[in-house]
Amino acid sequence: MAVDLDFLNNILSTESLSDIWKESEPDELTWIKYAEDAQKYLNRPAFDGTHITGKMLADSARLNYIKNKKILPVEFVLAQLQKESTMGTKGRSPKNNPANVGEYDEGTKIKFNSPEEGINAYYSLISNDYLRDKNVSDLISNFVNYRGDRYATDPGYEKYFQDQIPFIERFLSK
């Protein structure tokens, strides 16, 4: 995956959520439900020890919506964080980079100072690079950005999403 470092540095220098949040659509209940759904899934025993919270994901989703006018479905985000780092519990730098933004097979290119910083970078990267000219359904069929770069080298990456997202949807509907 090729990442534009200037783009990510710009994301990281953005004001805090409290400075950016304004009255915006969707309404507050959308973000509350997003946080609740994320937390319900994160509470599974498989993710014991995760430092990621539903509120953290909802805050990043809301910031991303304000900046990019895109909402990443919570099921999609949860599937990707699960695949990339088992919800921030495994990998090269899982605590601050649970989506492996800037992680390559040959090493780490980008370091984040907090989990929120890493998660904000993930939401912005997906919205601006990977969903620039497609929707989530297109992406889980062919996980490449607008330049044709794959997010992951795993040839089964798309199949994982095609299986995991419906599982998460069923889990959340219980």
- Chain segment 103-119, per-residue pLDDT in tens: 988 888 999 999 999 99
pTM listed for this prediction: 0.85
Residue 15's pLDDT band (boundaries 50, 70, 90)? very low
Average pLDDT over residues 19-30: 66
Per the prediction, the chain carries an average pLDDT of 88
Domain ranges of the chain: 5-15+24-173
Q: Kindly tell me the burial class for residue 75, based on how many C-beta atoms sit within 10 Å of its own C-beta (0-12, 13-18, 19 or more).
A: buried
- Domain 5-15+24-173: which CATH number of 3.40.109.10, 3.40.190.10, 1.10.530.10, 1.10.3720.10: 1.10.530.10
Residue 7's pLDDT band (boundaries 50, 70, 90)? very low
Alpha carbons 155 and 168: distance in angstroms, whole number: 22
